[in-house]
């Protein structure tokens, strides 16, 4: 635990001439195929800034390792358990595509679904789209729902698909839209699905391809367009009526029949227009020692060793570790190798009233999975995303299951593996554009909360970075935030913040 606080921030003012001075949860689909919420008398309106995912465009085939990604749910062992999911999104000239990786230790599906069966009574996942993003309180004709029931990797299994369209007050279940989907389950021993005797399973992948024509479009929305998005994950962990599990959903405000409670997708990369003022100065924020909590960070997951066995390390904290990790796969089989990291920077050293011109996060990369054997294939690169985080978290209490959802994916860069040779310390510096996250946090008077996570798809994609708890021998390798700012009346003297020891 950090018990001593040091303030060690260097802020250099440049002499320049200024030209211009748990809400209500989503509800399991009831009756045969009832898309309504159970308590329509209580209408929830999301009043906070919606969670946003910026999704990339691919002219031809999607490179899923470079897709957008967000996470939700809980990886809870036991029986029944709770499920965790990663959602990857991208779009092409033909369709919106979504792939979800679902960690589920007990897979159950309807072996012979009929047209009127409620697939949400088994493992299933539903995608909700608001194509006008008008924040309506009930499903409108621009709102769509697509549900896929888990199955045994059956191609063209239309009997495992359900769809609906809003009619102004509720869901029209008779609407028939064209789309394709595929469910790909993974288990540890036969017979796998619909059997708990052998042991726990791994989970499943759900793939959605939704053509623009099905949504009333002749092609993709214009770059910069905003749509509403909700996701609801249903789970069954035993033969019905046993094994019912409450659904997980994104965002946490989600209600199935209230589009105003959904999150949003932005077509294209994150957009932010910084101040155009001439810079007045810059501030560099970095922990001065392993016990300086000006910068706090923690990683969660299996680390560089894929710890935790089959189930991973869902509730282990690593806030006092000297390293940070990131990594994921498209398959749930290697969930113990997944990693994400959170960072928090205090912004007190930036002058009050300043406008943020730019901000960058620098992390030093020192290792990766599968780096020890030169006879093995070269490990793949990683597309590592930087996320803004608006919910609070504790450095010494955060873990996989209580980590906040991301607010927005704001930038991403390629991180390349080392070619089987030790790094030259402090390692390779990688730099992310953090301007939007820092500007928003500073304007709100808050510290900057960030997260890194990758949208990798293959094995051996974990990447290792240096954290703030590293010893003073590698001080330069600690996470570093550089902020360039402008202010009407800059202090034209050099200012150095010396360490302050608080006992």
Q: 337 to each of 142, 304, 316, 331, how far by Cα in Å?
A: 40, 7, 14, 11
Q: What is residue 220's predicted lDDT score, i.e. its pLDDT? A: 98
Least confident of 42-46, 297-301, 320-324: 42-46
Q: CA–CA separation, 285 vs 361, rounded Å?
A: 10
Element (H, E) at 408: strand 408-415
Element (H, E) at 442: helix 435-443
Looking at the predicted structure, is the pLDDT value of residue 187 above 50?
yes
At residue 453, the pLDDT reads 98
Query: Does residue 358 have a cis peptide bond before it, meaning omega lies within 30 degrees of 0?
Result: no
Token pair recorded at residue 5:
């606080």
pLDDT top residue among 387 and 10: 387
Residue of 110, 111, 107, 62 lying closest to 88 (CA atoms): 62
**Residue 387: which pLDDT band, with cuts at 50, 70 and 90?**
very high
* pLDDT above 70 coverage of the chain, percent: 85
Per-residue pLDDT reduced to its tens digit, 56-111: 999 999 999 999 999 999 998 777 789 999 999 999 999 999 999 999 999 999 99
Task: Using pLDDT thresholds of 50, 70 and 90, give the confidence band for residue 418.
Answer: confident
CATH match for 52-267 among 3.30.830.10, 2.60.40.1190, 2.60.120.200, 1.10.10.10:
2.60.40.1190
Q: What's 502's DSSP letter?
A: B
Q: Describe the chain by its helix, strand, coil percentages, rounded to 5.
A: 10, 35, 55
Where are the chain's structural domains? Answer: 9-15+273-496, 52-267
C-alpha dist (Å) from residue 217 to 100, 210, 356, 463: 24, 11, 38, 40
The whole-number pLDDT of residue 450 equals 98
What pLDDT is stored for residue 93 in this prediction?
Answer: 98
What tokens were used for 332? 């749930």
Flag whether pLDDT at 502 surpasses 50: no
Contacts with 352 (C-beta within 8 Å, 6 or more apart), sequence order:
none
Mean pLDDT of 261-288: 94
Q: pLDDT band at 233, cuts 50/70/90?
A: very high
CA distance 107 to 94: 32
- The residue whose two tokens read 């894929």 is 306
DSSP assignment of 161-223 equals EEEEEE-SSSEETT-----EEEEEEE-SSTT-TT--SS----EEEEEEEEEGGGGT-SSPPPT
Query: Does the structure show a pLDDT above 60 at 249?
Result: yes
H/E segment holding residue 73: strand 68-76
The CA-based dihedral angle spanning residues 456, 461, 467, 472, taken in that order and rounded to the nearest 10 degrees: -150
- What per-residue confidence (pLDDT) applies to 426? 95
Average pLDDT for 419-441: 90
Q: What is the pLDDT of residue 459?
A: 87
Question: 103-124: b or e for each residue (b if 16 or more CB lie within 10 Å)?
Answer: bbbbbbbbeebeeebbbbbbbb
Q: What contacts 317, CB < 8 A, 6 or more positions away?
A: 298, 300, 396, 397, 398, 399
From CA 285, how far away is CA 296, in angstroms rounded?
11
Would you place residue 238 in the very low, low, confident or very high pLDDT band (cuts 50, 70, 90)? very high
User: Is 148 within 8 Å of 129 (Cβ atoms)?
Assistant: no
User: What are the pLDDT digits (tens) for 444-472?
Assistant: 999 999 999 999 998 888 999 999 999 99
Structural contact between residues 446 and 321, judged by C-beta atoms closer than 8 angstroms: no
Cβ neighbours of 243 (radius 10 Å) = 16
Q: Is the peptide bond before 251 cis (omega within 30 degrees of 0)?
A: yes
Which run of H or E residues covers position 440?
helix 435-443
């Amino acid at each position: 635990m950090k018990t001593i606080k040091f303030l060690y921030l260097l802020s250099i003012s440049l002499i320049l001439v200024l030209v211009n001075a748990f809400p209500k949860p989503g509800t399991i689909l009831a009756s045969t195929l009832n898309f309504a919420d159970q308590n329509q008398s209580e209408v929830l309106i999301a009043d906070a800034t919606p969670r946003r995912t910026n999704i990339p465009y691919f002219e031809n085939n999607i490179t899923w390792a470079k897709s957008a990604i967000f996470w939700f749910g809980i990886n809870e062992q036991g029986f029944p358990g709770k499920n965790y999911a990663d959602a990857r999104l991208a779009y092409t000239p033909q369709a919106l595509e979504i792939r979800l990786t679902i960690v589920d230790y007990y897979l159950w599906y309807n072996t012979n679904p009929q047209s009127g069966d409620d697939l949400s009574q088994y493992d299933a996942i539903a995608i909700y789209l608001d194509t006008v993003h008008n924040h309506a309180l009930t499903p409108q004709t621009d709102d769509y729902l697509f549900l896929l029931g888990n199955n045994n990797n059956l191609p063209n299994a239309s009997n495992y698909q359900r769809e609906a369209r809003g009619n102004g007050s509720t869901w029209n279940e008779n609407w028939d839209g064209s789309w394709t989907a595929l469910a790909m389950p993974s288990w540890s021993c036969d017979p796998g699905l619909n059997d708990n005797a052998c042991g726990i399973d791994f989970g499943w992948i759900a793939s959605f391809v939704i053509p623009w024509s099905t949504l009333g479009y002749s092609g993709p929305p214009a770059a910069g367009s905003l749509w509403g998005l909700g996701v609801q994950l249903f789970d069954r962990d035993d033969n019905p009526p046993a094994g019912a599990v409450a659904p997980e959903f994104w965002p946490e405000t989600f209600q199935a029949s209230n589009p105003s409670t959904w999150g949003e997708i932005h077509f294209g990369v994150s957009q932010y227009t910084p101040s155009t003022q001439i810079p007045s100065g810059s501030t560099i924020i970095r922990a001065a020692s392993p016990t300086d909590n000006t910068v706090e960070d923690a990683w969660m997951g299996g680390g560089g060793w894929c710890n935790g066995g089959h189930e991973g390390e869902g509730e282990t904290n690593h806030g006092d570790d000297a390293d940070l990790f990131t990594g994921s796969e498209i398959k749930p089989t290697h969930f113990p190798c997944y990693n994400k990291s959170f960072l928090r920077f205090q912004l007190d050293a930036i002058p009050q009233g300043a406008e943020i011109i730019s901000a960058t996060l620098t992390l030093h990369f020192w290792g990766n999975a599968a780096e020890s054997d030169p006879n093995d294939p070269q490990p793949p690169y990683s597309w590592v995303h930087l996320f803004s985080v608006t919910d609070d978290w504790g450095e010494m209490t955060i873990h996989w299951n209580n980590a906040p959802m991301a607010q927005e994916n704001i930038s991403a860069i390629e991180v390349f593996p080392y070619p089987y040779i030790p790094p030259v310390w402090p390692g390779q510096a990688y730099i992310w554009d953090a301007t939007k996250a820092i500007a928003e946090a500073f304007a709100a008077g808050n510290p900057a909360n960030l997260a890194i996570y990758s949208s990798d798809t293959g094995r051996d994609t974990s990447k290792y970075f240096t954290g703030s708890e590293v010893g003073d021998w590698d001080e330069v390798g600690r996470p570093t935030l550089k902020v360039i700012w402008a202010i009407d009346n800059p202090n034209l003297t050099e200012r150095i913040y010396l360490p302050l020891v608080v006992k």
